[in-house]
Amino acid sequence: MKDRAAGLLAGYALDRWLGDPRRFHPVAGFGRIAASLERRTYADSVGRGSLHAALLVAAAGAVGVVAERRHRFLATVLTTWAVLGGRSLEREATTIGAFLEAGDLPAARRRLTHLVGRDPSGLPEDEVARAVVESVAENTSDAVAAPLVWGGIAGAPGLLAYRAVNTLDAMIGHRNPRYERFGKAAARADDVANLLPARLAAVLTALCGPDRRGALRAWRRDAAGHPSPNAGPVEAAFAGALGIRLGGTNVYGERIEHRPTLGDGRAVTAGDIAPATRLARRVGLGAALAAAGIALSRRRA
């Protein structure tokens, strides 16, 4: 539909211009609602977790339906802007890169907590840089390509429902004693919702990156070893495209995760953060154009 396609492109442009809303961010508001509901729905049960996730995702989608009925173009613009995180991701990555370039490793470690869940204390410069590039790659898929794809498929309801799924995965989709069962549905729903967008992001990474063959080779060879079925293709493609090596040991509090190597290039340095953000920007633009194309094709169908 023309108004959806135009709204997606306008919302993408608004995110590039302004970044996330500074106050009253709807994703933060959704998180507070989800946490409040969890106090009523929680039980160590897959069924209760499925109900919890279904209620919240359905409610988010319903808000999108109501908004579109009032003004489809404006609803698409505002929801696209609200759910995308590309500009803010770039700002955080650039800030950490500037700290590293200035030799302020402690400040870079502190800022890294805005991007990743791993423990930054004690990380050397190259490991901080690796964490930033991995986050840029993964979130270019999760926070840019995926919401745009779902916006192309289903407009504002798709945008909001996807962001609800992704936010719930971040909140409760953890393998720990509290959420192993309760968060299983949210984690599985996020995997399914990102299946197509992650592959689109990986394709766009290969097309837009400086080393197309390297991206495709790393994706084909290394992605399956990543613990995430969707982060693997994108991170591997970024590694191959940029000629660097991602993966390694990550510490998340008491949990230590040993990830396989992605790519066969050199170790990441602070100087790789800027090329990674430029590549992410091109991938995001490609995803916006693809989403607009999806919306237009659905009108003809």
User: What pLDDT was estimated at residue 139?
Assistant: 96
User: What pLDDT was estimated at residue 250?
Assistant: 82
- Total count of residues recorded for the chain: 301
Q: Which residues pair with 258 in a beta bridge?
A: 249
Q: Phi, psi at residue 256, to the nearest 5°?
A: -115, 130
User: What pLDDT was estimated at residue 25?
Assistant: 76
The Cβ-side half-sphere exposure at 1, using a 13 Å CA radius, reads 14
Read off the tokens for 239.
């590694």
**Counting runs of H as helices and runs of E as strands, what totals does the chain give?**
13, 4
By three-state DSSP, how is residue 116 classified?
Answer: coil
User: What pLDDT was estimated at residue 301?
Assistant: 47
User: What pLDDT was estimated at residue 195?
Assistant: 97
Task: Judge whether 244 and 272 are in contact, CB under 8 Å.
Answer: yes
Domains identified in the chain, total number: 1
**Rounded to an integer, what distance in angstroms lies between the CA atom of residue 108 and that of residue 111?**
5
Whether the model clears a pTM of 0.85, i.e. scores above it, the answer is: yes
User: What pLDDT was estimated at residue 252?
Assistant: 75
Mean pLDDT by 10 residues, the chain (301 residues): 93 93 78 93 95 97 95 95 94 96 95 89 93 96 97 97 95 89 96 97 97 97 93 97 92 78 95 97 98 86 47
Domain span including residue 181? 2-300
**Rounded to an integer, what distance in angstroms lies between the CA atom of residue 89 and that of residue 201?**
16
